[in-house]
Amino acid sequence: MISLDKFGKKDQVWLIGGTSDSATIAKMLAVSNTRFVVTVTTIAARSLYSSTTAIVVDRMDQVKMQSFCQQNQIKAVIDASHPYAVEVSRQAIAICTQLNLPYLRYERINYQASVAEQTNSFRIELASFDQLLAGNYLTKQRVFLTVGCQALPRFKPWQDQATLFARVLPKIASLEAAIAAGFKSDRLIAIRPPLSVATETALWQQWKISLVVTKASGKAGGEEIKHQVAKDLAIPLIVIARPQISYPQQTSLIKDVLAFCQAV
């Protein structure tokens, strides 16, 4: 059971964090004197926040979430988790429904492709990884995967059918997951996005990339930059769409988050 007794705070807002978006929201909540606590899943994610911010590090399932909310008298939930952290959002919604807590999803703005990009052959939009792997997109290509380490095991069967490269976060766990998925050290780079256009371009050229796979992770994930580089180098870019979830409330505006907190 997780307790925040050491912080001396009760009746507060729970900010599900771990993203740069959540760090921005945390700063805004602190300035507005809103009582809140942030939860993240890794020690490294603590560095995103002020040293005075109440933070709990834990990978919570639905049972832990319920205990957390009840023990710490959570009055509302702001879900600013990663766009692809589907289970976290679904479990949080279920707990809020069960405990009758107000829930607000902060969803970073999706990259809006121009009409030219939508009709240009360099951009390929797919609904899921299943659709990608069921097709013939990767065969005999030099593929750069910028999809996060959790998706890499799905590409293990393709190691003999394509030359696969991957970018992961600079964490031991991420590197271990990539190596377990069949990636050799000379086909891995550990760096936190977003990269500059120049760095991204140099990397693609150095590895002689012929196809890039990314997720619709928005500006924070460097999606816009990858679109620019793909266009400049005439390299096809496959974009995996965000999972579709029915959120009780959703916004892409920070001001709406503050209004939500003031209302509850």
CATH number (domain holding residue 15): 3.40.50.720
Does 73 share its domain with 186?
no
How much is the pLDDT for 117? 53
Does 76 share its domain with 128?
no
Amino acid occupying residue 127: A
Does 231 share its domain with 141?
yes
Does 71 share its domain with 16?
yes
Domain containing 136 — which CATH number? 3.40.50.20
Instruction: Give the domain range for residue 122.
Output: 115-240
DSSP H or E stretch at residue 184: none
Please provide the distance, in angstroms rounded to a whole number, between the alpha carbons at the two ends of the chain. Answer: 25
DSSP 2: -
Residues of the chain where predicted confidence (pLDDT) is lower than 70: 1-10, 111-121
Does 131 share its domain with 226?
yes
Does 147 share its domain with 252?
no
What's the token pair of residue 142? Answer: 């030099």
Does 95 share its domain with 136?
no
Q: Assess contact for 144 and 209: CB atoms under 8 A.
A: yes
How much is the pLDDT for 43? 87
Nearest-angstrom CA–CA distance, 16 and 39 = 5
DSSP H or E stretch at residue 31: helix 20-31
Q: Assess contact for 17 and 81: CB atoms under 8 A.
A: yes
How many domains does the chain contain in total? 2
Does 143 share its domain with 71?
no
What's the token pair of residue 187? Answer: 């086909």
Does 119 share its domain with 236?
yes
Cα–Cα distances (Å) from 144 to 33, 41, 164, 212, in that order, read: 44, 27, 6, 5
Count Cβ atoms within 10 A of the Cβ of residue 109 and give its class: 0-12 exposed, 13-18 middle, 19 or more buried: exposed
The string of DSSP letters for 63-112 reads HHHHHHHHHTTEEEEEE---TT-HHHHHHHHHHHHHHT--EEEE-PPPP-
Q: Assess contact for 12 and 73: CB atoms under 8 A.
A: yes
Residue 13's DSSP bridge partners are: 36, 76
Q: Which residues neighbour 48 within 8 Å (Cβ) at sequence distance 6 or greater? A: 17, 18, 19, 20, 22, 23, 40
How much is the pLDDT for 75? 96
Does 193 share its domain with 211?
yes
